Amino acid sequence: MHYPYQIKNLAEYHAAYQRSIEDPAAFWASVAEHFTWRKKWDTTLEWNFNEPDVKWFQGGKLNITENCLDRHLEKLGNQPAIIWEPNAPDEQPRVITYKKLHEKVCQFTQVLKNNGVKKGDRVCLYMGMIPELAIAVLACARMGAIHSVVFGGFSAQSISDRLQDAGAEFIVTCDGAFRGGKDIPLKNIIDDALIGNQTIKKVIVCTRTRTPVSMIKGRDVWWEDEMKQVEEQGITYVEAEEMDAEDPLFILYTSGSTGKPKGVVHTCGGYMVYANYTFVNVFQYQPGQIHFCTADIGWITGHTYITYGPLSAGATTLIFEGIPTYPNAGRFWDIIDKHRVNIFYTAPTAIRSLMAFGNAPLEGKDLSTLEVLGTVGEPINEEAWHWYHEQVGKKRCPIVDTWWQTETGGCLISNLAGVTPEKPSWATLPMPGVQLLLVDENGNEKLAEGDETISGNLCIKAPWPSILRTTYGDHERCRINYFATYPGLYFTGDGALRDKDGFYRITGRVDDVLNVSGHRIGTAEVENAINMHAGVVESAVVGFPHPVKGQAIYAFIIYQGSHQQNTHGSDDLIKSDILQTVTRVIGAIAKPDKIQLVSGLPKTRSGKIMRRILRKIAEGETDNLGDTTTLLDPGVVEEIMNGKL
């Protein structure tokens, strides 16, 4: 494939950026015309951030799978679309060509239809990292069903909440998933999520681990049986549904500073254009290259840069089932050598955890096929950046530091590999079409005087094609969360610096959202889970810096279990019970790293918890706690400091 909109040098970047700001509609129309549309759009852009109401390519008709599959068949039919590397290195990898993937997607589309799924229905996908997950995603898109992938690490309760919020009636899952030495019983977790559920009509179960499962008559069917039936009918092609550019493509749940996770909604046309545009430009993808993004398809990174971005560009995408340290810390490097990977995209947490093993796992690895490296999900510290650059990239490969969010659909700030300058730990320049500004607490734009570097809250002035359109079932929540803090602006929730060259460095969240190992977790969500434990009176959760995870969770808990519970166990047992509760309610990814049992929490006279103080204590910064005189009981601070873990 040829990408006429691929930026080739710095001057082209500046020119593209300029054009994208002067006339965003004309700029994106000139990109969008290189895609397959059943009918061309009437209006390129209409928007109003106050509602918010954003519409791209209105009146346009398309199906994203025709862009990811059908349009490649003639020239790239026999090229690998997906290379799958299983969890255990001695199991055979699978290579799926575009032709085969197209066929499988069509067949699974038919399976969905046979099981009663209709256009617009919500389908929850709770699967491991096997090609069938990508096939299920694409099959939903092909028939116009809205997929909602739930990461395989979430608990039954989390699944149940998401099913209810999305009004999902269909689930596709696996018997289990291999992850390192573990076998996660996905179907059993689904069964727990479905206890008492009256709305789920069908559960399609794909075989992977041969974990024993209970198949419920009339509700549960096997993926393989359903596919066989379609294959036996000789079906290899199913017509793609004609979608409106603004029809929803998927819902993806993500954590915010309040309440339960919200369902971020992305739509077909704008998301497709932006996923493709950023994939081609940020990574500077060249036809034939092998792209390896280590994220899980359960996160936005896996949606955009394992699935839709690469496939819409006719690329070869590598899907990896396992973890970086299984069977040993050389696993990524072995995969890169085995499959001759050219582009490698991972999270700073993974880099830091591998760095901790020293350079021995890299010895004897070739890595000479690597051309571009990338990071995503959290700020990368300079030490990790240099290690990645020297030990993995052998100082040959540019590193793209891509800043974005579930809500943004694709990268908004990043250097373009080898095309625009890189600066360790800086995400650098905005993508074309992305109009950034830094504001103070009151929403006033901050502007630099001379060459100074300034800091502020990161906002965006105007829409790019893959901005979220709503939060599922609650548009007001979308408005309040993203568009009401600073009227007329999209607020990212992140703080940032901007230097004299206009480069941005993301400093982290400024709201009550934590970023643990690149996973977004709301403090309120963790507190709610902890508070469900019978002996917990109240809790407050904050983040603290962690050398590998970036941030870790510190929970201060007032515990007054019953007499029986107190005699039932020591503090250690109480803490384990609380961890078990969090695992049950959210999933193991939200488990606090430190739990401190306290007799009180620092509160203002009006009853508000002073998190600022707790954050400082958790960070070990006890000298300068700021003003504590407004506290209801200043003595409590002393006690908490003395008991700090």
Q: Please report, for residues 90, 107, 307, 322, the alpha-carbon distance to residue 327 in angstroms, rounded to integers and kept in the order given.
A: 10, 35, 26, 9
Residue of 147, 187, 520, 549 that binds ligand PRX (CB under 6 A): 520
Residue 206 backbone dihedrals phi, psi, to 5 degrees: -95, 140
Q: Which is nearer to ligand PRX, 377 or 587 (CB)?
A: 377
Asked if 467 and 412 touch (Cβ cutoff 8 Å), the reply is no
Asked if 180 and 326 touch (Cβ cutoff 8 Å), the reply is yes
Q: Which is nearer to ligand PRX, 504 or 554 (CB)?
A: 504
Smallest separation (angstroms) from ligand PRX to the CB of 469: 16
Smallest separation (angstroms) from ligand PRX to the CB of 427: 5
Smallest separation (angstroms) from ligand PRX to the CB of 359: 25
Q: Please report, for residues 214, 257, 555, 641, the alpha-carbon distance to residue 634 in angstroms, rounded to integers and kept in the order given.
A: 55, 27, 19, 12
Q: Which is nearer to ligand PRX, 20 or 466 (CB)?
A: 466
Residue 483 backbone dihedrals phi, psi, to 5 degrees: -120, -5
Residue of 265, 341, 376, 613 that binds ligand PRX (CB under 6 A): 376
Judged by CB under 6 A, the chain residues 169 through 188 that form the site for ligand PRX are none
* Cα distance between residue 302 and residue 154, in whole Å: 16
Asked if 266 and 409 touch (Cβ cutoff 8 Å), the reply is yes
Which part of the chain contacts ligand PRX (CB under 6 A), choosing from 86-94, 138-146, 270-278, 506-514? 506-514
Closest CA to 377 of 434, 309, 301: 301
Residue of 96, 506, 521, 557 that binds ligand PRX (CB under 6 A): 506
Smallest separation (angstroms) from ligand PRX to the CB of 295: 8
Residue of 161, 175, 247, 378 that binds ligand PRX (CB under 6 A): 378
Based on the shown chain and the rule CB under 6 A, indicate whether residue 379 belongs to the binding site for ligand PRX. Answer: yes
Residue of 103, 226, 247, 401 that binds ligand PRX (CB under 6 A): 401
Q: Which is nearer to ligand PRX, 473 or 508 (CB)?
A: 508
468: left (phi over 0), alpha (psi -120 to 50) or beta: beta
- Structure tokens, 448: 């630099």
Q: Which is nearer to ligand PRX, 259 or 600 (CB)?
A: 259
Residues whose CB falls within 8 Å of the CB of residue 576, separated by 6 or more in sequence, listed in order: none
Q: Which is nearer to ligand PRX, 191 or 378 (CB)?
A: 378
Q: Which is nearer to ligand PRX, 86 or 522 (CB)?
A: 522
Q: Which is nearer to ligand PRX, 132 or 401 (CB)?
A: 401
Smallest separation (angstroms) from ligand PRX to the CB of 641: 29
The helix/strand/coil state of 467 is: coil
Q: Which is nearer to ligand PRX, 376 or 459 (CB)?
A: 376
Tallying the residues shown for the chain, one arrives at 645
Based on the shown chain and the rule CB under 6 A, indicate whether residue 300 belongs to the binding site for ligand PRX. Answer: yes
Smallest separation (angstroms) from ligand PRX to the CB of 550: 9
Summary count for the chain: helices (H), strands (E): 21, 30
Cis preceding linkage at 432, omega within 30: no
Q: What is the bridge-based pairing of β-strands 536-546 and 53-58? A: unpaired
Residue of 352, 509, 549, 575 that binds ligand PRX (CB under 6 A): 509
Q: Which is nearer to ligand PRX, 377 or 535 (CB)?
A: 377
Which part of the chain contacts ligand PRX (CB under 6 A), choosing from 20-28, 385-393, 429-437, 505-513? 505-513
Which part of the chain contacts ligand PRX (CB under 6 A), choosing from 210-218, 371-379, 535-543, 605-613? 371-379
Q: What is the bridge-based pairing of β-strands 146-149 and 122-126? A: parallel
User: What's the maximum distance between 2 C-alpha atoms anywhere in the chain?
Assistant: 77
Smallest separation (angstroms) from ligand PRX to the CB of 176: 25
Q: Which is nearer to ligand PRX, 158 or 402 (CB)?
A: 402
Based on the shown chain and the rule CB under 6 A, indicate whether residue 145 belongs to the binding site for ligand PRX. Answer: no
Smallest separation (angstroms) from ligand PRX to the CB of 293: 11
Q: Please report, for residues 157, 501, 517, 614, the alpha-carbon distance to residue 103 in angstroms, rounded to integers and kept in the order given.
A: 35, 49, 37, 55
State the DSSP code for 202.
Answer: E
Number of residues that bind ligand PRX (CB under 6 A): 22
Asked if 331 and 322 touch (Cβ cutoff 8 Å), the reply is yes
Residue of 49, 403, 483, 556 that binds ligand PRX (CB under 6 A): 403
Q: Which is nearer to ligand PRX, 470 or 515 (CB)?
A: 515
Which part of the chain contacts ligand PRX (CB under 6 A), choosing from 145-153, 204-212, 370-378, 608-616? 370-378
Smallest separation (angstroms) from ligand PRX to the CB of 402: 5
Residue of 107, 289, 294, 402 that binds ligand PRX (CB under 6 A): 402
Q: Please report, for residues 7, 29, 264, 552, 644, the alpha-carbon distance to residue 539 in angstroms, rounded to integers and kept in the order given.
A: 50, 51, 28, 16, 15
Which part of the chain contacts ligand PRX (CB under 6 A), choosing from 191-199, 402-410, 469-477, 600-608? 402-410
Q: Which is nearer to ligand PRX, 456 or 493 (CB)?
A: 493
Which part of the chain contacts ligand PRX (CB under 6 A), choosing from 2-10, 166-174, 235-243, 377-385? 377-385
Amino acid identity of 302? G
Judged by CB under 6 A, the chain residues 465 through 504 that form the site for ligand PRX are 492-494
Closest CA to 154 of 595, 550, 590, 580: 590
Q: What angle do CA 433, 439, 440 make, to 5 degrees?
A: 170
Judged by CB under 6 A, the chain residues 524 through 553 that form the site for ligand PRX are none
Judged by CB under 6 A, the chain residues 237 through 266 that form the site for ligand PRX are 254
Judged by CB under 6 A, the chain residues 404 through 443 that form the site for ligand PRX are 404-406, 427
State the DSSP code for 390.
Answer: I
Identify any residues that bridge with 149 across adjacent strands, giving them in sequence order: 125
The helix/strand/coil state of 205 is: strand
Residues whose CB falls within 8 Å of the CB of residue 147, separated by 6 or more in sequence, listed in order: 122, 123, 124, 125, 136, 137, 140, 141, 249, 250, 251
Smallest separation (angstroms) from ligand PRX to the CB of 501: 18
Identify any residues that bridge with 171 across adjacent strands, giving them in sequence order: 124, 203
The residue number whose beta carbon is nearest to ligand PRX equals 406
Q: Which is nearer to ligand PRX, 379 or 587 (CB)?
A: 379
Which part of the chain contacts ligand PRX (CB under 6 A), choosing from 349-357, 365-373, 396-404, 558-566? 396-404
Q: Which is nearer to ligand PRX, 492 or 581 (CB)?
A: 492
Q: Which is nearer to ligand PRX, 391 or 406 (CB)?
A: 406
Residues whose CB falls within 8 Å of the CB of residue 145, separated by 6 or more in sequence, listed in order: 112, 117, 118, 119, 120, 121, 122, 123, 170
Which residues lie near ligand PRX (CB under 6 A)? 254, 300-301, 376-379, 401-406, 427, 492-494, 506, 508-509, 515, 520
